[in-house]
Amino acid sequence: MSKPTKDPRIGVYVCHCGLNIAQSVDCSRVARTVENEDGVVVSKDIVYACSEPGQQQIKQDIIDNGLDRIVIASCSPRLHESTFKKMIDSVGLNPYMLDMANLREQCSWVHMNDHAGATLKAETLVNMSISRVRHLQPLTEETLPLTPKTLVIGGGIAGIQAALDLADSGYDVTLVEKSPSVGGVMAQIDKTFPTMDCSI
């Protein structure tokens, strides 16, 4: 891991996501626009940030350039934030020293007919991320005890199957069913497709 320095050392990666982002956003232009921002040490566009070669490249950059915070401008953090957190963690960077600019779900896909507008917005979103990462602090996850038990709500075929799989794997299960018996709608059905056998 890079030595903690006062000045942030930021790596920015603008992902094409194949053509998903690149079709409406000029990714290399975005990467070039932000390369001179304060603290930005590396700024690149990358075909697939989440792919193995993509991740490898970013990890190598972190090691080679002593990067201490990363901006990934790609898809929604709801999709790949954990992927990239694990990635930077694997080279010794605190996983919270990351921000994602959402250039796919909230930019390229929703401004498909406005390439100039989408590219401009992408630049702003990446810049916003850069200013956010400047203020990031390393954080540590806490571990807490856990109750190794599952509540299954509903005793139809799905609830029954889930409860049995869990119980057979050694976990205690409480199965809650609002009617007087388990079975659900399935129990009402005699022969079931495609095997034409009994459901119970």
Partner 1 sequence: MTDVGRHPRIKLLTLSEVVDVKGYVGNFKVKILKKARYVDETSCTACGECAKVCPVVRPDEFNMGLGSRKAIYSPFPQAVPSSYLINAKECLGHNPAVCSKCVEVCSKGCINFHMSDEEIIEEVGTIIVATGLVPYDPTEMDEYGYTRFDNVMTSLEFERMVNASGPTKGSLVRPSDREHPKSVGFIQCVGSRSAKKGARYCSNVCCMNTIKSTFIIKEHYPDVEVKVFYIDIRAFGKGFEDLYTRSRRMGAQYIRGLPGSVEETGEKSLRVAVENAATGKLEYHHLDMLVLAQGIKPAPSTQRLQEIMGLQLTADGFYLEAHPKLQPVDAATRGIFFAGCAEGPKDIKDSVTQASAAAMRAIRVMHKGEITTEPITSVIIAEKCKSCGKCAEVCPYGAITVDVKNKKPAVVNSAACAGCGTCSAECRFDAITMNHFTDAQILGQVDTMLDTAPEAKILAFACNWCSYAGADYAGVSRLQYPANVHLIRVMCSGRVDEKFIWEGFRKGAPVVLVSGCHIGDCHYIDANHWTEKRVARIHKKMEKIGLRPERLQLEWISAAEGIRFAETMKRMEQVRRSVTAEEIAETINTLSKL
Which residues, numbered 30-89, are part of the site for partner 1 (CB under 8 A)? 76-79
**Angle separating helix axes 52-65 and 77-90, nearest 10 degrees:** 50
CB of 60 to partner 1, least distance (A): 27
Would you say 60 or 179 has its CB closer to partner 1? 179
Q: Residue 114 has which token pair?
A: 């406005």
60 versus 131: smaller Cβ distance to partner 1: 131
Residue type, 181: S
Closer to partner 1 by CB, 3 or 185: give it.
Answer: 185
Least gap, CB of 73 to partner 1 (angstroms): 13
Evaluate whether 120 touches 30 at the Cβ level (below 8 Å).
Answer: no
Residues 79, 81: Cα–Cα separation, whole Å: 6
Least Cα distance to 134 among 197, 196, 71, 76 occurs for 71
Q: How many CB atoms lie within 10 A of CB 45?
A: 21
Size, binding site for partner 1 by CB under 8 A: 92
Instruction: Compose the 87-126 pattern: x for residues touching partner 1 by CB under 8 A, - for all others.
Output: ---------x-----x-xxxx-xxxxxx--xx-xx--xx-
Site for partner 1 in 138-197 (CB under 8 A): 139-196
Shortest Å, Cβ 26 to partner 1: 13
Minimum Å distance from CB 58 to partner 1? 21
Per the listing, tokens 């600019």 go with: 101
The amino acid that residue 14 corresponds to is V
Nearer CB in complex with partner 1: 5/188: 188
Nearer to partner 1, 61 or 100 (CB): 100
Among 47, 62, 56, smallest CA distance to 98 is for 62
